[in-house]
Amino acid sequence: MNIGGSTRLDFTVIGPAVDLTARIESMCKSLDRSPLISWEFARLSGVKAEFLGEFSLKGVGSQQPIYGVME
């Protein structure tokens, strides 16, 4: 999405998926794991991941399953 005026342009992404991603990323420190991924990403990507639990994320509404990428 293009956000800005005629003298300055800024291209960015917005929306629920971006909000969820930011909230999951904010859990890295408290879970002492990085990277963390959503259930949808784990399911669709085929990345080997470990279920870490369901967590309440600010502004997301319901608890979300969080996965840690396995090496």
What's the pLDDT tens digit per position in 36-69?
Answer: 999 999 999 989 999 999 999 988 888 999 999 9
3 in a structural domain: no
Domain span holding position 38: 15-69
The answer for residues whose C-beta is within 8 angstroms of residue 45's C-beta and 6 or more apart is 37
> How is 7-51 classified by DSSP, letter by letter?
S-EEE---SHHHHHHHHHHTTHHHHT-SSEEEHHHHHHH---EEE
Residue 10 has pLDDT above 90, yes or no: no
Q: Which of 5-14, 15-24, 39-48 has the lowest mean pLDDT?
A: 5-14
Number of domains composing the chain: 1
Q: Is residue 7 part of a domain?
A: no
pLDDT at 31 over 70: yes
Answer whether residue 1 is part of any domain. Answer: no
